[in-house]
Chains A and B, each alone.
Chain A
Amino acid sequence: MARVEIVEVSKRYKSVLAVNNVSLDVRDQEFLVLLGPSGCGKSTLLKMVAGLEEITSGEVYIDDRLVNYVAPKDRDVAMVFQNYALYPHMTVFDNLSFPLRMAGEKKDIIKSKVAEVARILGLDGLLDRRPEQLSGGQRQRVALGRAIIRQPKVYLMDEPLSNLDALLRVQTREELLRLHKRVGGTVIYVTHDQVEAMTMGDRIVVMRDGIVHQVGEPQAVYNQPANTFVATFIGSPAMSLFDGQLQSEHGTLVFAATGFCIPLPGRLRQAALALLGGDRRVTLGVRNEHVQLFSVPEPAAIEARTLLIEPVGSDMYVRLAIGDQECLARTEPRSDLQEGAPVWVRFMLDKLHLFDAAGRNVLAPAATTPAPTSTAAVLA
């Protein structure tokens, strides 16, 4: 059992609130990803779980044991750092065996455990080398090996792939997932790369400015972002957003912006009705794959102008001007579109997202969903 509970944890550095009242429940054997831009507090949160940063307020429990005042070495956690933190003056063998030597393990046991971990990670022939003689991928595996050799309850990984080149990052991502399936353990993984988060996490936690904006399975977060920040942070390229107003036309609720209006689909109508009595300013969101393009006028299609066409091999990204706003569409490569020429656009209505004036998804529960620029904490 290795459950981690983070209860209303905050971290303050003088006048800066790096982590603001965050609560999370990490299940046993779960691969939880903390995702957010640089400076959002995800690494600070990780270090508080590790015991490397003091907790200003709140509690952290590992397997129902309060660890706020427990030394890092006694929490049974292992950490993989962004820059690997390998001891440069020690060989690979010494780096891998370091935790076991600190624990006073016997030499023959140390030798056999190091050999086993080296075999699992493909480090067999490298045990006598020093970190400076290793490639980036090899160093990363040594850092992983140093973590798994202790067989801790919880693995904490602070952007371990960010120093690798793109190709190696993809390979190592797959290796990590295979390793997690083989070795098990609860993992809390920090990254700013949403592709890593989407492919690796059982659940992802989206953070910004020290607060949690959304927690959920990757596809759920992608399909139902809690606010405009999550909507634009998850998904590449980012979701296109249109500013406009809610209007009632002939008994139909429509989204109206300069130059176009779109009738709201049924699933958004009920939630949008509640906004009619107050601030009617809303934001409409649509992902690029849910934008249909036509080179000739089509029923219910909006006229737009093509600003830029970017072919990327199997797809083509088309930047459009609709009214006085822009959006991005993804389509398969086609030759009937030209930059500067008119084009007709139709959004898949069942895939639209609607956000209120504060940026919250109208379909998300308001009480527990922060506004995109909120500094108030939320219970996740």
Chain B
Amino acid sequence: MTTVAPARTRGQVAEIRRAAERAHLRRRLLWWALAYSVLIVAGVAAILPFLYVVSLSLKHTESLIEYPPRWIPIPPYYGNYAAIIHHDLFLRWFLNTLIVASSVTVIKLVIDPMAGYAFAKMDFPFKESLFMLSLSMLMIPLAATLIPMYLLVRGLGFQNTYPGLILPGLAAPMGIFLLRTFMEQLPKDLENAARLDGASEPYIFARIILPLCKPALVTLAIFTFLTQWVAFVWPLVIAPDPNMFLLTTGLSSFKAQYRVDWGLVAAGMVLVLLPTAVAFVLFMRQFIAGSLAGALKQ
């Protein structure tokens, strides 16, 4: 004999649903609490050093050693910033940095897409080997190539010159890798359609493919500009003349001159990082889109 379970009343069904919802909500709240705790700790750990530097930059040198330390200087001391800005060569360093970072960025935005297009869309002998060779440069640390590069650039007569600061920066393969990956995903039929319609290869590259690579190009521009803006080792080696210092190398020279005035150094660091922070915030969306390019199916 088959027994049939008695049907539940509407009230019972509602109570069961409410209990299930409460249990579900409790589990979700627990996970949210855990996740946000981790995120808050990570976020604080990431931003704290920068906030400390800002705090340091707004303090007079004598107040750096007071105890207990004050996180928020009241009143704030702007003398460090004034000293930096009125430094003889600060404007010169700022211009040097702007020229080098902008030049490398602009030139790489011209040559890297062309190289990426060749590797992505064209067929030629030893294509894969050449690509792997250029990619292998990523694995070689700067320390290993510093001396030979210095000898090469000095031999060309580019020590203490803008070409000496700019040219090595053009060889970084990250842009080629990024654009090749991006362009590989563009349907081949787009170029085929353009070829059949009478477009030349340069036209296809410049007017069909390149406009579709905007996210990758913006990423490359931001990445290159930021890298060059905060570059330190190479400018230190190739441009010892104070007139050819960049902001980073100029800042490091304060140690020798002022017996490590930390407030001054901190103010300098904030001024160096401020433009990069502003640029990142302004172009964050495009940067993320470009970084994710290739992760999602078109």
Q: Which residues of A contact B (CB under 8 A)?
A: 47, 50-52, 71-73, 77-79, 81-83, 85, 87-89, 98-99, 102-103, 146, 150
Interfacial chain A residues near B189, Cβ < 8 Å: 81-83, 85
Q: Which of B37-88 contact A (CB under 8 A)?
A: none
Contacts A87-B208, A88-B212, A89-B211 given; indicate if A81 touches B193 (C-beta within 8 A).
yes
Apart from A51-B196, A73-B195, A85-B187, what 8 extra A-B contacts exist at CB < 8 Å?
A: A50-B196, A73-B197, A73-B199, A83-B187, A89-B211, A98-B197, A102-B199, A103-B198
In the complex, what residues of A have CB within 8 A of residue B199's CB? 73, 98, 102
A102 engages B198 (CB within 8 Å): yes
Q: Is B227 an interface residue (CB 8 A)?
A: no
Across the two chains, which residue of chain A brings its CB closest to B193?
Answer: A85
Interface string of B162-180 (1 = CB under 8 A from A): 0000000000000000000
Complex alpha-carbon distance, A79 and B211, angstroms: 23
CA distance A172 to B236 in the complex (A): 67
Contact of A73 with B212 at beta-carbon distance under 8 Å, contacts A85-B187, A85-B190 already known: no
Query: Which partner residue on chain B sits nearest A71 by CB separation?
Result: B195
The answer to whether the Cβ of B192 comes within 8 Å of any Cβ in the partner chain is yes
Set of chain A residues within 8 Å of B196, measured between Cβ atoms: 50-52, 72-73, 77-79
The complex places the Cα of A51 from the Cα of B196 at a distance, in Å, of 8
**Interface hits, B14-39 → A, CB 8 Å:** none
Q: Smallest CB–CB gap between B245 and chain A, Å?
A: 43
What's the nearest-Cβ distance from chain B to residue A159, in Å?
11
A72 touches B195 (CB 8 A): yes
Chain B positions within 8 Å of A, measured between CB atoms, are 187, 189-190, 192-199, 203, 208, 211-212
Q: When A52-B192, A79-B192, A81-B192 are in contact, do A73 and B187 touch as well, CB less than 8 Å?
A: no
Residues of A within 8 A of B211 (CB): 89
Contact A87 B190 (CB under 8 A): yes
When distances are taken between beta carbons in the complex, the residues of chain A under 8 Å from B208 are 87
Q: Is the CB of B198 within 8 A of A99?
A: yes
A52 to B121, CA, bound (A): 13
A85 touches B198 (CB 8 A): no
Most chain A CB atoms below 10 A, which of B187, B190, B192: B192
The 9 closest A-B pairs by CB, nearest first: A102-B198, A85-B189, A85-B193, A99-B197, A73-B198, A81-B189, A89-B211, A72-B196, A72-B195
A103 and B196 CA atoms in complex are apart in Å by 11
| Cα–Cα, bound, A78→B196 (Å) | 7
* A–B complex contacts, Cβ < 8 Å, 25 sampled: A50-B192, A51-B195, A52-B192, A52-B195, A71-B195, A72-B192, A72-B196, A73-B195, A73-B199, A79-B193, A79-B196, A81-B192, A81-B193, A82-B189, A83-B187, A83-B189, A85-B187, A85-B189, A85-B192, A85-B193, A87-B194, A88-B212, A98-B197, A98-B199, A102-B199
Whole-angstrom CA separation of A87 from B195 in the bound complex: 13
What's the minimum C-beta distance from B207 to chain A, rounded to whole angstroms? Answer: 9
CA distance A89 to B211 in the complex (A): 7
Q: How far is the CB of A350 from chain B (nearest CB, A)?
A: 47
Give Cα distance in the complex from A79 to B195, angstroms: 11
Instruction: Please name the residue on chain B nearest to A75 by beta carbon.
Output: B196
Q: State the Cβ distance, A67 to closest chain B Cβ, in Å.
A: 13
CB-CB < 8 A to A85: which residues of B?
Answer: 187, 189-190, 192-193
**Distance between B183 CB and nearest chain A CB, rounded to angstroms:** 14
Whether B197 pairs with A102 at a CB distance below 8 angstroms is: yes
Q: Which of A47, A52, A146 contacts B197 (CB 8 A)?
A: A146
Give bound CA distance, A102 to B204, whole Å: 11
Q: Which residues of A contact B198 (CB under 8 A)?
A: 73, 99, 102-103
Q: Which of B187, B196, B199 has the most CB of A within 10 A?
A: B196
List of A residues within 8 angstroms of B203 by Cβ: 102
Residues on A with C-beta less than 8 A from B194 are 87, 98
Tell me the nearest residue of chain A to B191, going by C-beta.
A85
CB distance from A360 to the nearest CB of B (A): 37
The residue among B193, B194, B199, B203 with the most chain A CB atoms within 10 A of its own CB is: B193
Q: How far is the CB of B190 from chain A (nearest CB, A)?
A: 5
- Inter-chain CA distance A81–B194, complex, in Å, is 12
A365 to chain B, nearest CB (A): 38
Contact B212 A89 (CB under 8 A): yes
B197: A residues at CB distance < 8 A: 73, 98-99, 102, 146, 150
Most buried by B among A50, A82, A99: A99
- A78→B198 CA distance, assembly (Å): 10
Complex formed: what's the CA distance from A47 to B198 in Å?
Answer: 16
B113 vs chain A, min Cβ distance (A)? 15
Closest to A80 in B: B193
Distance of B62 from chain A, by nearest CB (Å): 60
B244 to chain A, nearest CB (A): 42
Report the Cα distance A73→B195, complex, angstroms: 6
What separation, in Å, do the CA atoms of A82 and B198 have in the docked complex? Answer: 20
Alpha-carbon separation in the docked complex, A85 to B212 (Å) = 13
In the bound complex, CA of A338 to CA of B211 (Å): 64
A163 to B194 CA separation, bound complex (whole angstroms): 21
A50: B residues at CB distance < 8 A = 192, 196
Q: In whole angstroms, how far apart are the Cα atoms of A83 and B190 in the complex?
A: 9
Q: How far is the CA of A364 from the CA of B9 in the complex (A)?
A: 74
A73 to B197 alpha-carbon distance, docked (Å): 6
Closest to B210 in A: A89
Looking across the interface, which residue of chain B has its beta carbon closest to that of A143? Answer: B193
Neighbouring B residues of A71 by C-beta, 8 Å: 195
Question: Smallest CB-CB separation from A52: which chain B residue?
Answer: B192
